[in-house]
């Protein structure tokens, strides 16, 4: 079941990206923290962020949250992809 506030926003693509985390029960603050961690790592790490690096923020979280985060990472990579 999706959160009504997510569905009511006119521009839904950013919310589509994080919806798996919402569905997994994370709060907006928790989601913001994960995204900030990922963004910070991408800026300060030399080279590209590896899949293991991308999963680091949820390493100690339950499997459902790790799976939701992996889906979010996949969705972020597909945003703007002409194949979608």
29-83: per-residue pLDDT in tens? 999 999 999 888 888 877 777 778 889 899 999 999 999 999 999 998 888 676 6
Residue 37: inside a domain: yes
Contact indicator for 20, 71 with CB cutoff of 8 Å: yes
Q: The whole model's pTM is what? A: 0.75
Instruction: Provide the residue count of the chain.
Output: 84
Residue 84: inside a domain: no
The burial of 34, by beta-carbon neighbours within 10 Å (0-12 exposed, 13-18 middle, 19 or more buried), is given as buried
Domain that holds residue 44: 4-78
Residue 67: inside a domain: yes
Residue 83: inside a domain: no
How many domains, the chain?
Answer: 1
């Amino acid at each position: 079941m999706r959160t009504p506030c997510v569905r009511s926003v006119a521009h839904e693509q950013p919310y589509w990206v994080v919806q798996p985390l919402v569905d997994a029960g994370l709060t907006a603050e928790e989601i913001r923290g994960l995204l900030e961690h990922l963004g910070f790592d991408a800026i300060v790490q030399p080279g590209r962020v590896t899949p293991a690096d991308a999963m680091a923020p949820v390493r100690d979280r339950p499997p459902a949250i790790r799976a939701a985060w992996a889906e979010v990472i996949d969705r972020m990579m597909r945003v703007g992809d002409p194949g979608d």
